[in-house]
């Protein structure tokens, strides 16, 4: 039995063979093609065929993490925004079933949450994963029923929360990593990578500290909403910015209680441990 994982994003498709101990081999990363005539699923099929014949694999099981809302039972994209051309309706089962013994397809945040579960205690009853990146994604897991599904396969769309009519923006537009970049640009700062702003803040730069605190307050507002709606045992912050670790948590966590009723309490808030590999590992975690 061989587990192969794919992580399909708007920019790259990543793939690897995943061993039983969670280690990755034969890792690849290619540009996501413009999705004319099912180009994305055809690229996955091409890579899968290459894995099979190059390494003489049998009993192949495939897990896919992908952008978009996923019908997990049918292994089909139920809905995708226009950022990926003609992706809604993409049928992975129809294209890949002849090559695999088993196939699982997950929304990318669901896959990341499943990946994080592999490195956390089985005693955790419920978890919410919040990913901060170009946009904001969410996933909720409870031991009683597993991943939340939703009637139209698109639950936890938390980026649409907290609409502000004065600025005509929602949570995602203000609290994502892109939101932070936009905030810095609007305030007249020249472009610097986000990690550089954290370095400057740690070195005592008052402007960096103030800008990051302002952005972190927006993140905290959304976390308070998650707490009230889901009451999870743990909230995990993922996305590339999670690499900032305690520097990120120290900005966000103290501000969450400002947006909760007095003495309400909240989940343990942590950063993702697997970072870039979470979705790959999560995609094959249940094969």
Close Cβ partners of 26 (under 8 Å, ≥ 6 residues apart): 16, 17, 51, 55
List domains and CATH numbers for the chain: 2-114+277-283 (3.30.420.40), 121-273 (3.30.420.40)
User: What is the distance between the alpha carbons of residues 56 and 281, in angstroms, rounded to a whole number?
Assistant: 22
Q: What is the dihedral of CA 97, 103, 109, 112, to 10 degrees?
A: -140
Strand partners, 8: 13, 66
3-state class (DSSP) for residue 34: coil
Looking at the chain, which runs of residues are DSSP E strands?
Answer: 2-8, 12-18, 24-31, 60-66, 69-71, 76-79, 102-107, 126-132, 136-142, 146-147, 234-238, 268-271
- Pairing between strand 24-31 and 2-8? unpaired
pLDDT of amino acid 55: 86
With 0-12 CB in 10 A as exposed, 13-18 as middle and 19+ as buried, what is 184? buried
| pLDDT value at residue 57 | 85
CA dihedral defined by 178, 179, 181, 184, rounded to 10 degrees?
180
- The confidence score (pLDDT) of residue 241 equals 94
Can you read off the two tokens belonging to residue 249?
Answer: 């948590």
Q: What is the pLDDT of residue 3?
A: 96
Query: HEC states along 68-90?
Result: CEEECCCCEEEECCCCCCCCCCC
Can you tell me the distance from the alpha carbon of 18 to that of 4, in angstroms, rounded to the nearest whole number? 6
Q: What is the pLDDT along the chain (287 residues), one digit of tens a residue?
A: 899 999 998 889 999 999 999 999 999 999 999 999 999 999 999 999 999 998 888 899 999 999 999 999 999 999 998 889 999 999 999 999 988 999 999 999 999 999 999 999 888 999 999 999 888 999 999 999 999 999 999 899 999 999 999 999 999 999 999 999 999 999 999 999 999 999 999 999 999 999 999 999 999 999 999 999 999 999 999 998 999 999 999 999 999 999 999 999 999 999 999 988 899 999 999 98
């Amino acid at each position: 039995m061989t587990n192969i994982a794919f992580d399909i994003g708007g920019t790259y498709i990543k793939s690897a063979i995943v061993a039983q101990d969670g280690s990755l081999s034969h890792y690849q990363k290619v540009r996501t093609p413009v999705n004319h005539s099912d180009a994305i699923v055809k690229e996955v099929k091409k890579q899968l065929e290459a894995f099979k014949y190059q390494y003489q694999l049998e009993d192949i099981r495939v897990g896919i993490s992908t952008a978009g809302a996923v019908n997990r039972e049918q292994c089909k994209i139920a809905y995708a925004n226009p950022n990926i051309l003609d992706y809604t309706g993409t049928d992975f089962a129809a294209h890949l079933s002849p090559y695999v013994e088993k196939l699982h397809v997950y929304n990318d945040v669901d896959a990341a949450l499943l990946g994080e579960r592999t490195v956390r205690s089985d005693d955790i009853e419920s978890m919410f994963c919040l990913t901060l990146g170009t946009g904001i994604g969410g996933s909720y897991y409870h031991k009683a029923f597993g991943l939340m599904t939703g009637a139209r396969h698109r639950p936890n769309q938390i980026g649409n929360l907290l609409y502000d009519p004065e600025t005509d923006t929602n949570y995602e537009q203000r609290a994502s990593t892109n939101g932070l970049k936009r905030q810095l640009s609007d305030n007249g700062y020249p472009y610097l990578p986000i990690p550089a702003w954290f370095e400057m803040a740690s070195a005592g730069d008052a402007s960096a500290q103030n800008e990051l605190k302002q952005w972190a307050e927006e993140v905290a507002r959304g976390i308070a909403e998650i707490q009230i709606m889901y009451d999870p045992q743990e909230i995990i912050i993922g996305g590339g910015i999670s690499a900032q670790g305690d520097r990120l948590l120290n900005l966000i966590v103290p501000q969450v209680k400002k947006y909760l009723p007095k003495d309400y309490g909240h989940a343990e808030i942590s950063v993702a441990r697997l970072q870039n590999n979470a979705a790959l590992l999560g995609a094959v975690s249940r094969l």
